[in-house]
Each structure stands twice: as structure tokens, then as C-alpha cells.
């Protein structure tokens, strides 16, 4: 497995990802679309809104498939 920050740097904006980061007391995941990547942060657009993740806290990042269509 490679460096998760390098993985994010290789993703195009709009890629659906899960980013796991260290937070006080444990871990937190952001699942959604990569919207922005700077030298120090990435922004993931989740269902609850944008989440800014400091890159120095990222422990794991993967591309995930699109969600299944919503049922009627």
C-alpha cells in the first residue's frame, strides 16, 4: 500500500474517496467527493457538507465506487 497523501494528489477533483484521519480519541472517516487539494489540506464533499482534512492527519485513503441508485 502506498502513501495515502500521494494517492490523493493523483486523484482528479470529483473522485469519490474515503479518507481516514487521526482525531483526538481515535479515527474519523470522510466519505464523498474530492473537491480540493492544497499543500496542507484536502476537502471532501460528504452528504453532510464539505469536510476539510489536514493532510498531516491522513492515515489511509482509497477510491470507492459510486453509490447504488436510490430506491423509489
Q: Is the pTM of this model over 0.85?
A: yes
Give the pLDDT confidence of 10-34 residue by residue, as tens digits: 999 999 999 999 999 999 999 999 9
Residues 6 or more apart from 44 whose CB is under 8 A from it? 17, 19, 30, 31, 32, 33, 34, 35, 50, 51, 53
Burial 44-53 (b: 16+ CB within 10 A, else e): bbeeeeebeb
Distance in angstroms (rounded) separating the CA atoms of residues 61 and 72: 32
Q: pLDDT digits over 31-53, tens only? A: 999 999 999 999 999 999 999 99
CATH number assigned to the domain with residue range 4-63, chosen from the 4 options 3.30.70.100, 3.30.930.10, 3.40.50.1820, 2.30.30.520 = 2.30.30.520
What is d(CA 49, CA 19) in angstroms, rounded to the nearest whole number? 15
Amino acid at each position: 500500500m502506498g502513501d495515502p497523501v500521494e494517492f490523493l494528489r493523483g486523484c482528479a477533483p470529483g473522485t469519490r474517496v474515503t479518507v481516514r484521519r487521526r482525531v483526538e480519541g481515535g479515527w474519523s472517516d470522510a466519505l464523498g467527493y474530492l473537491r480540493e487539494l492544497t499543500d496542507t489540506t484536502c476537502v471532501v464533499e460528504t452528504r453532510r457538507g464539505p469536510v476539510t482534512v489536514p493532510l498531516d492527519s491522513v492515515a489511509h485513503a482509497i477510491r470507492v465506487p459510486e453509490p447504488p441508485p436510490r430506491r423509489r
